[in-house]
Amino acid sequence: MKTEKEINNIVGKNIKKYRYMYKITQKDLAKKIGTSLSLISKIENENIDKKINISTLYKISQTLKIPINKFFE
């Protein structure tokens, strides 16, 4: 079983990958989901020191049009 940090790292890398695929900046993603650029940066760069909020993850998946389970692969 993976640790929370390992899961956060996988999720962050996948968010970054899909964001790049759709050519959306961190700033644009943050604005579209109503959060800070700083949070998006922390999630993607493995610097998040807390759990990723499920509603934030849901909003990201909806914005990027990616099924939420893809972030965990």
**Domain 4-72: CATH architecture, name and number where available:** Orthogonal Bundle (1.10)
Q: Where are the domains of the chain?
A: 4-72
Q: How far apart are CA 14 and CA 17, in angstroms?
A: 5
Token pair listed for 68: 């939420």
pLDDT at position 40: 95
Q: How far apart are CA 53 and CA 51, in angstroms?
A: 6
The percent of residues in the chain predicted with pLDDT above 70, rounded, is 99
Q: Predicted confidence band at 14 (pLDDT cuts at 50, 70, 90)?
A: very high
18 and 66 Cβ atoms separated by less than 8 Å: yes
